[in-house]
Chain A
Amino acid sequence: MMKKIIPATVLTAILFLVSAVYGASEMFKDYIYQPGTLKPIDSKPKLKVGDKAPDFALSSITGEKVSLSQYIGKKNVVISFVPAAWTPVCSDQWPGYNLVKDIFDQYDTTLLGITVDNIPTLYAWTRPMGDIWFPVLSDFWPHGKVAKKYGVLRSNGVSERALFVIDKKGIIRYIDVHDINKRPLLEDLVKELEKLKK
């Protein structure tokens, strides 16, 4: 009993200390929905590093269809699945990537941002972020089909917060199915992009 209580107590105590406020930009004012702390990961992996990345074609907020295969042989691809528009961490993550196009360019990589939201929602949510240099894709219908293919569809129908790095041959080189409550560190992704050059 004591063995169980002590770690639980220490964990509770640590939780008191750890507090993160994402999506705090004044740009979003109080439009951000606060979902509270969620189960960190709620899906089972279907893919592993070394697998061929499943192809897909999704509509973007600019009206075009974007497929993974159109980049094969031309560019490395980072897929950033984020759970939902108008939520705290997601509202931070893409504006950060939007700032570092030069880093993606440096590693001859493009970024594809995917959520299960529909196009109008994605459009409204991303407009205030300014001109986004990477395609923002909707995996709305059939609902979460691509997220499911990549093994990152959660039981409530949103995707995980996940990053897939795919090389020019279409092979998955890195997977980070991240704690949904936290923003992945930019430097961790950059380290993986650096490895693509080797």
Chain B
Amino acid sequence: MKKIPLFCLVIIAFFLTINLTVFAAGKPPEEGGTLPLIKLPVPESAGEKAYLGLKGKGSFTIPQIKADVVIIEIFSMYCPYCQNEAPRVNELYQAIEKDTELKNKIKIIGIGAGNTPFEVDVFRKKYQIPFPLFPDVDFSIHKVCGEVRTPYFIGIKINKDGTHEVIYSKLGTIQDAQQFLDLILKKSGLKKEG
């Protein structure tokens, strides 16, 4: 048996290690748990930057968004259910924005699984989506989120100390914007039951 060069073994070992950590297909985030590490680019648009309470350039992680709750939609421009769902998610955004108490507490972002910036932009323009959308060209975010089917919604609660907790993680449409918002309020503790 010929010897496998040490160089190749090192490369294989390196990528296997990487694969098991950063690039491994994770499980979908579980309620009570935390998000996998997801780095997104700080939006160039001043409006989107202000909406998320971010400054400067570079990247950010979702718990760095200035909010008590962040709702993340994993979608694809190519997903018919996501297309059908877009007006309802806009309704959710409007319901939050018109409520002066919730406006600065709950933010929404979308992540386009396997979508290029162009494709995300087509989706944004088609449905006049008012909240920030981020492309995930190489499916890397989709992968760490358990390669979920779309649309998939994740809600996180951000604590004062910067830690966070997943409060909602579910496949499928939100059905009704107000009911979904009520559910998020209940699960996050922003609104007590009763």
Measuring CB to CB, which residues of chain A are less than 8 angstroms from any residue of chain B? 1-2, 5-6, 9-10, 12-13, 16-22, 24-27, 29, 92-93, 95-96, 98-100, 103, 128-130, 183, 185-187, 190
The answer to the question of B110 belonging to the interface, with a C-beta cut-off of 8 Å to chain A, is no
The answer to the question of B25 belonging to the interface, with a C-beta cut-off of 8 Å to chain A, is yes
Establish whether residues A25 and B12, one from each chain, have CB atoms under 8 Å apart when the complex forms.
no
Bound CA–CA A169/B139 (angstroms)? 40
The answer to the question of B149 belonging to the interface, with a C-beta cut-off of 8 Å to chain A, is yes
Establish whether residues A10 and B119, one from each chain, have CB atoms under 8 Å apart when the complex forms.
no
Q: Which residue of A lies closest to B75 (CB)?
A: A25
The stretch from B13-21, B65-73, B97-105, B159-167 touching chain A is: B13-21
Q: Given A9-B12, A99-B126, A186-B122, is A21 in contact with B77 using a C-beta cutoff of 8 Å?
A: no
Establish whether residues A187 and B118, one from each chain, have CB atoms under 8 Å apart when the complex forms.
yes
Measuring CB to CB, which residues of chain B are less than 8 angstroms from any residue of chain A? 2, 4-5, 7-8, 11-12, 14-16, 18-19, 23, 25, 76-84, 113-114, 116, 118-119, 122-123, 126, 138-139, 142-143, 147-151, 171-173
Residues on the B chain within 8 Å of A130, using CB: 80, 84
Establish whether residues A187 and B119, one from each chain, have CB atoms under 8 Å apart when the complex forms.
yes
Q: Which residue of B lies closest to A89 (CB)?
A: B78
Q: Given A26-B171, A185-B116, is A99 in contact with B77 using a C-beta cutoff of 8 Å?
A: yes
Bound CA–CA A78/B113 (angstroms)? 26
Bound CA–CA A186/B24 (angstroms)? 28
Given A22-B78, A95-B78, 12 more pairs with CB closer than 8 A: A16-B16, A20-B138, A21-B113, A21-B139, A24-B79, A24-B149, A25-B149, A26-B150, A26-B172, A129-B80, A185-B119, A186-B77
Partner of A183, one of B114, B122, B172: B114
Q: List 15 A-B contacts (CB under 8 A).
A: A2-B5, A6-B7, A10-B11, A16-B15, A18-B138, A21-B113, A21-B114, A21-B142, A21-B147, A25-B82, A27-B81, A96-B77, A99-B122, A100-B122, A186-B116
Q: Which residue of A lies closest to B121 (CB)?
A: A187
Bound CA–CA A21/B144 (angstroms)? 12
Bound CA–CA A187/B135 (angstroms)? 14
Establish whether residues A19 and B118, one from each chain, have CB atoms under 8 Å apart when the complex forms.
no
Q: Which residue of A lies closest to B139 (CB)?
A: A20
Report the 10 A-B pairs with minimum CB-CB distance, sorted nearest first. Answer: A25-B79, A13-B15, A92-B78, A187-B118, A96-B78, A9-B8, A27-B81, A16-B19, A95-B80, A26-B149
Q: Given A24-B113, A24-B149, is A95 in contact with B79 using a C-beta cutoff of 8 Å?
A: yes
Bound CA–CA A144/B107 (angstroms)? 50
Establish whether residues A93 and B78, one from each chain, have CB atoms under 8 Å apart when the complex forms.
yes
Bound CA–CA A130/B81 (angstroms)? 10
Residues on the B chain within 8 Å of A128, using CB: 80
In the assembled complex, how far is the CB of residue B138 from the closest CB belonging to chain A, in whole angstroms?
A: 7
Residues on the A chain within 8 Å of B116, using CB: 185-187
Bound CA–CA A29/B171 (angstroms)? 11
Establish whether residues B4 and A5, one from each chain, have CB atoms under 8 Å apart when the complex forms.
yes
Residues on the A chain within 8 Å of B8, using CB: 5-6, 9
Q: Given A186-B119, A187-B119, is A20 in contact with B114 using a C-beta cutoff of 8 Å?
A: yes
Establish whether residues A5 and B83, one from each chain, have CB atoms under 8 Å apart when the complex forms.
no
Partner of B23, one of A5, A17, A26: A17
Partner of B78, one of A2, A9, A17, A25: A25
Partner of B79, one of A2, A5, A9, A27: A27
Q: Which residue of A lies closest to B16 (CB)?
A: A16
In the assembled complex, how far is the CB of residue A150 from the closest CB belonging to chain B, in whole angstroms?
A: 24
Q: Given A9-B12, A25-B149, A95-B83, is A19 in contact with B25 using a C-beta cutoff of 8 Å?
A: yes
